[in-house]
Structure 1
């Protein structure tokens, strides 16, 4: 597979920044109330976060082995194609493209919501129509297109520019989050936390929230796509960077929600757009704090859009480079060496987002969660299968926990999948979610049919493994 898409290089901190930037975004500010409502209380929320961390660790450990074993552009596409052939590779690749473009769409909508909070006139002027009771206005549509255009230009400039933006967004986000958490926990009131049945345990509430959390903490796997653009030492530690992202962001999101519940009755928090900002305004007595946090979340939104479009384009490039779709997508920018057609194709998938308004907020979350689970589960099983079919591959890092992690990963795979796809489960998808998933799957089938069918799985494996096997 052509590795010339690499332009510039990404440091270890750059890898962490891209992962954190893809994960943190706006959810810490905009979704706290939704999480508390879905979990039906702060105790159930804390349990859901612990469950989320527990079920994701086996997948993260699988990535730790996969990344240095097959450090090629495309991430999960490479692992799955090597293990399961072209169909498996395309399945996980298209799921990755969908997950990242859906997150891009969702964050684009969230960024406009933040601006509407700061400048209410944007959501009240130039009404075009309503979608599902939500207003779609001309200023909001134009802003979303402008944001997408800026991110598109950054993608053209290459991996080092993307990583630089991710570093800036990550530093700003972490500083504001940590400063806010220190102030919030200094005023934490256990009586407020327990009010409204906050300590009443309901496991179905935790299960319901778990499906949303898969979406909210997804993004650490971005490191797998960026690893091929990393420096030597950073590339070898890409798996560690991935685990750091998972632990850091999941912990921060849980702490933010807990801080809110300890300063504001949780039933009151569910009615607020940005409860974390509200409690800090009450603590400091300075309304400007709300503005600063909203601006910080907007910076985070830009960071997520940057990271997700980067991942989507790299996965498309991996699909094309593996002959899992037309090689027409393999064209590189003559100056920056970036996969321009993949970038454009990824951007084209988000053009409808500005016209959907907030109608698809929840369906986008559930569809992205399903695509994320497909990526994680396939990577885990790819690692396990490659141990049997290609034991000679160099493995600088082995999956921590060995067989125990493998068994736990299989259990986690079933747990996450069934909780999301079964309609009667606490975290089950709805009718619109299934419709959206079906349409996107059909689009993937059409792209898969554009592949060069003269290329066999043996040819693909030879192209992927050739250099690696020669090192043995």
Structure 2
């Protein structure tokens, strides 16, 4: 690809460079489609529904169902875009790599910077919520609670949130052992938490009262929009599937399939949970309450047994989200490090475990700090605005690459393009508009800092700029052909067994 001021990186080169770290050690393809779907469910279902549902109800009232549908629609259109890009570029960089190919290095760095919010800061938010349900479980089973000073953030009655730190360190231990072990743990936890949410629906529907849904939208359209912005947090994580592109068997098929299956199943489950919750208990009694699902089950059953089961499910669910989202953050940083935009230590892969060990521990320690001392509501809004901005960019990337790379091999194609990506952009911006002004100011400052870091650190150290040939390690693709070939060749790379081109799906 010709050099431009944008420093574009060809999709072919992105895939070619994904085979190994800077020292020759690579990630291994061990994940199948079922494990990938479980990984997606593990990344999504957690704090957003177990902890954040009550905040969404407080904004939208019984119309929380509409808020969840709006949030899901935003994700569906963007999921199509992630599926197309993931099938064309099965690499660890996810939206960072897509932006590098479509919009250039500066935009890619800022996307990677925003991914610190979607993955890094969100893992802190998820970990914060873990302590609430851990206390609920401990109180119901052994009659003890972690003291508030050690279970809450400053300003919320605590000094340091110890459970949040503990769950992040435990996730790091599992991640450095290997992706196969992490995948097995995530799959087991995904099955448990989905089963418990189904059990919640079954219990809550026994106390269903249609009168609880009236008035349906007490806060009007503004409340629905604000609720949708909060509900969107419950869906964050489906794009983490695309960060596993280098560790998936047959990624051009399995990555888009897993994204769409995961999002469809989770959206249906969330709608059922929201209807069951509001039908079982007046929304005024649910809105803003901690551990709301346990409260509803206690109300429906008249005992604490049901809430104990829900608390167990939440503890498992939130732990699995920490595991999956931390995994995604480490793979994003690995890709950025390969490109020279962040320090080299993030790209080092252990030859023994085939995992980025130092990268994982750095992420765990750095993001354990906000988890320990920052209240949940502070980190939640920043996570949401950063993720929505990334989703808007990903939809733009599809449109850009359709124009600049029409022959790029795509196993999945976004249906109804360009309308579907345009709707994804519009809905992302709509949900961003429902966030408070202070969040926008914080986000603007965050982007300004990111631009400064890129200009002072990333741009001068860019490997793409430093190498006129921009050759990957070894100068060839993994199948032995020269790197930088035609992106329309459809040749497999990085151990991708899908050698033969597949027919495209969609429009």
Which TM-score bucket, shorter chain as reference?
Answer: 0.7 to 0.9
Once residues 30 and 349 of structure 2 are traced to their aligned partners in structure 1, the CA distance between those partners, rounded to angstroms, is 17
For 1:58 and 1:182, the matched residues in 2 are separated by 30
The equivalences for 1:9-24 within 5 A come to 9-24=30-45
Structure 1 residue aligned with 2:503: none
Displacement of 1:367 in angstroms is: 0.7
- Pairwise CA distance, 1:430: 4.6
Q: In the comparison of the two structures, how many residue pairs are matched?
A: 454
Which of 165, 173, 182 matches 2:202?
182
Task: Name stretches of at least 5 consecutive residues in structure 2 with no aligned partner.
Answer: 1-16, 21-25, 478-482, 491-507
CA contact (8 A) 1:193 1:263 kept: no
The change in CA–CA distance for 1:468 and 1:284 in structure 2 (over 3 A counts) is: farther
1:8/1:453 CA distance change after superposition, 3 Å: closer
Partner of 1:393: 408
**What's the counterpart of residue 108 of structure 1?**
127
Is the 2:45–2:235 contact (alpha carbons within 8 Å) kept by the matching residues of 1?
yes
| CA–CA distance in structure 1, aligned partners of residues 412 and 435 of structure 2 | 36
Residue 464 of structure 2: which of 434, 439, 455 is its match? 455
Q: For the structure 1 residues 354 and 454, does the alpha-carbon distance in structure 2 shift closer, same or farther, using more than 3 Å as the test?
A: closer
- Does residue 375 of structure 1 match 2:390? yes
Deviations 1:181-228 (A, max 9, x none): 12322432112332xx34547111111112112222111101111122
In 2, the alpha carbon distance for the partners of 1:163 and 1:118 equals 25
Cα offset, 1:271, TM superposition: 5.2
Question: Quick check: 2:208–2:276 contact (8 Å CA) kept in 1?
Answer: yes
More helix by percentage: 1
Check whether the contact 2:245–2:255 (CA below 8 A) recurs between aligned residues. yes
| Structure 2 counterpart of 1:64, from 79, 83, 88 | 83
Q: Aligned to 2:436, which of 429, 432, 436?
A: 429
Task: Kindly state the Cα deviation for residue 274 of structure 1 after the two structures are TM-superposed.
Answer: 2.5
Matched, 1:136 2:159: yes
The equivalent position to 1:264 in structure 2, one of 267, 281, 293, is 281
Larger CA deviation: 309-318 vs 161-170: 161-170
* Distance in 2 between residues matched to 1:219 and 1:384, nearest whole Å: 23
Give secondary structure in 1 for the equivalent of 2:158: strand
Question: How many angstroms does 1:436 deviate by?
Answer: 7.0
Aligned 8 A contact 1:134 1:357 in 2? no
Q: CA deviation at 1:168?
A: 0.9
- Decide whether aligned partners of structure 1 residues 308 and 460 sit closer, same or farther in structure 2, where only a CA change above 3 A counts: farther
Secondary structure of 1:208's counterpart equals: helix
Q: Which runs of 5+ in 1 are unaligned?
A: 420-426
Residue 366 of structure 1, aligned match among 371, 381, 400: 381
The offset of 1:86, in angstroms, is 1.0
With normalisation by structure 1, the TM-score equals 0.88
Asked if structure 1 preserves the Cα contact closer than 8 Å seen for 2:131 and 2:164, the reply is: yes
Q: Is the 8 A contact 2:407 2:488 kept in 1?
A: no
Q: Distance in 2 between the 1:414 and 1:384 partners? A: 17
The structural deviation recorded for 1:125 is 6.3
How big is each residue's C-alpha offset from its partner over 1:17-50, in whole Å with a ceiling of 9 and x where there is no partner?
11111111133222222111111x112x122122
The 1:88/1:457 distance shift into structure 2, 3 A limit, reads farther
Question: Alpha carbons of 1:410 and 1:458: their partners in 2 closer, same or farther (altered >3 Å)?
Answer: farther
Which residue in the other structure is 1:319 paired with?
336
Question: What aligned pairs does 1:79-158 form with structure 2 within 5 A after superposition?
Answer: 79-119=98-138, 122-124=145-147, 131-137=154-160, 140-141=161-162, 143-158=163-178
Q: Structure 1's 153 and 277: CA in aligned 2 closer, same or farther, altered over 3 A?
A: same
Task: Tell me if structure 2 keeps the 8 A contact 1:68–1:397.
Answer: yes
Match of 1:424 in 2: none
Residue pairs, 1:4-43, within 5 angstroms: 4=20, 5-39=26-60, 41-43=61-63
For 2:238 and 2:304, locate their aligned partners in 1 and report how far apart those are by CA, in whole Å.
34
**What's the counterpart of residue 423 of structure 1?**
none
Q: Deviations over 1:374-414 (max 9, x none)?
A: 22112111121112212222112111122221332342243
Contact 1:367 1:437 survives alignment (8 Å):
no
Change (3 A) 1:180 1:135: same
Q: Separation in 2 of the partners of 1:291 and 1:318?
A: 41
Superposed CA offset, 1:53-103 (max 9, x none) = 222222111112101111122111211101122111111122123211111
Q: Does the CA-based 8 Å contact 2:393-2:425 persist in structure 1?
A: no
| Residues in 2 aligned to 1:129 and 1:214: alpha-carbon distance in whole angstroms | 24
1:80 and 1:88 in contact (8 A); partners too:
yes
1:351 aligned counterpart, secondary structure: helix
Q: 2: distance between equivalents of 1:449 and 1:161?
A: 39
CA RMSD of aligned residues (A): 2.7
Look up the SS of the partner of 1:400 in the other structure. Answer: coil
CA distance in 2, matches of 1:250, 1:309: 22
